[in-house]
């Protein structure tokens, strides 16, 4: 008799399919300049209307927080922390989540090939890479989710609520900053969130096998292996 698929796995798979469908729909609209992408110029014009010096500085700070340098540095710090704690299983999950997010950013950009909004209204340096999806939004959302997962076991119930709320606000804030500064269209940012949801759902499904692989690989490196892996 075939093993029953756990309910959590079925739910995560369903979420991944739905999010991927949404990304495909937005990508098609971006290529064809129809559907929801028709809202992009409207949103861009509204952003120009509400810009203020204070909001601009705030948006720049959020964009910096979601930059490749900051996200990459924090990911390395998290990995070093897990190595010091001798938790190769969780370290392997972090590598999968962050590495996969970086790969998806580049792959989807090349696949869709959408150009960024015009440079005239952009508040920042020139960026000639493709616009869909927003790498800042996608990678920071994945990193924040990983951070919540890593801290979850040691956090109290109140702290867990604070972690989830803070991660959600920061993820939305980084995405909004990319729209505000003129680096992305609205549908780029929405698609980034959906890609993050789809990828994190798959990571959740693969977490168990990946952790076991990390533990197995650590046995070849005695100083890295956890006591459980060495026994």
> How much is the pLDDT for 33?
87
Tens-place pLDDT, residues 90-99: 999 999 999 9
- Return d(Cα 104, Cα 92) in angstroms, integer: 18
pLDDT beyond 90 at 86: no
Residues present in the chain in total: 231
pLDDT beyond 90 at 111: yes
Phi, psi of 201, deg, nearest 5? -65, -40
> How much is the pLDDT for 103?
96
> How much is the pLDDT for 231?
43
- Return d(Cα 202, Cα 9) in angstroms, integer: 9
Q: For the residues 69-90, what does the mean pLDDT come to?
A: 91
| Contact (CB, 8 A) for 141 and 104 | no
Quickly state the pLDDT bin for 221 (edges 50, 70, 90).
Answer: low
Q: Please, what is the average pLDDT of the chain? A: 90
Burial class (CB in 10 A: 0-12, 13-18, 19+), 74: middle
Other C-beta atoms lying within 10 Å of the C-beta of residue 58? 15
178's tokens: 């990319």
pLDDT beyond 80 at 101: yes
> How much is the pLDDT for 2?
53
Tens-place pLDDT, residues 127-185: 888 999 999 999 999 999 999 999 999 999 999 999 999 999 999 999 999 999 999 99
Query: DSSP string covering the chain, please?
Result: -PPPPPHHHHHHHHHHHHHHHHHHHHHHHHHHT-GGGGGHHHHHHHHHHH--HHHHHHHHHHHHHTSHHHHHHHHHHHHHHHHHTT-HHHHHHHHHHHHHHHHHHHHHHHHH-PPPPPGGG--SS---S--SS-HHHHHHHHHHHHHHHHHGGGS-HHHHHHHHHHHHHHHHHHHHHHHHTTSS-HHHHHHHHHHHHHHHHHHHHHHHHHHHHHHHHHTTSTTTS-HHHH-
Q: What pTM does this model have?
A: 0.90
Start-to-end CA distance of the chain, whole Å, equals: 33
> How much is the pLDDT for 60?
96
Class of 13-218 in CATH:
mainly alpha
Q: For the residues 98-102, what does the mean pLDDT come to?
A: 96
Q: For the residues 29-51, what does the mean pLDDT come to?
A: 91
Quickly state the pLDDT bin for 211 (edges 50, 70, 90).
Answer: confident
> How much is the pLDDT for 88?
87
Q: For the residues 46-75, what does the mean pLDDT come to?
A: 94
Q: For the residues 186-204, what does the mean pLDDT come to?
A: 96
């Amino acid at each position: 008799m075939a093993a029953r698929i756990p309910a959590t796995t079925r739910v995560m798979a369903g979420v991944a399919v739905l999010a991927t469908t949404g990304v495909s729909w937005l990508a098609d609209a971006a290529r064809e300049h129809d559907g929801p992408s028709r809202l992009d110029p409207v949103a861009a014009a509204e952003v120009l209307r509400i810009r203020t010096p204070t909001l601009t500085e705030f948006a720049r700070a959020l964009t910096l927080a979601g930059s490749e340098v900051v996200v990459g540095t924090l990911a390395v710090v998290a990995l070093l922390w897990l190595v010091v704690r001798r938790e190769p299983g969780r370290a392997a999950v972090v590598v999968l989540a962050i590495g996969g997010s970086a790969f998806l950013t580049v792959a989807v950009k090349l696949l869709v090939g959408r150009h960024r909004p015009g440079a005239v209204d952009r508040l920042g340096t020139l960026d000639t890479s493709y616009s869909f999806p927003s790498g800042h939004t996608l990678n920071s959302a994945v990193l924040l989710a990983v951070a919540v997962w890593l801290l979850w076991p040691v956090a109290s119930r109140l702290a867990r609520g604070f972690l989830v709320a803070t991660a959600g606000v920061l993820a939305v804030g980084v995405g909004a900053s990319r729209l505000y500064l003129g680096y992305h269209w609205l549908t780029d940012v929405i698609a980034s969130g959906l890609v993050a949801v789809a990828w994190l759902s798959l990571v959740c499904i693969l977490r168990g096998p990946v952790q076991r692989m990390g533990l197995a690989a650590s046995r070849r490196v005695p100083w890295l292996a956890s006591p459980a892996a060495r026994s």
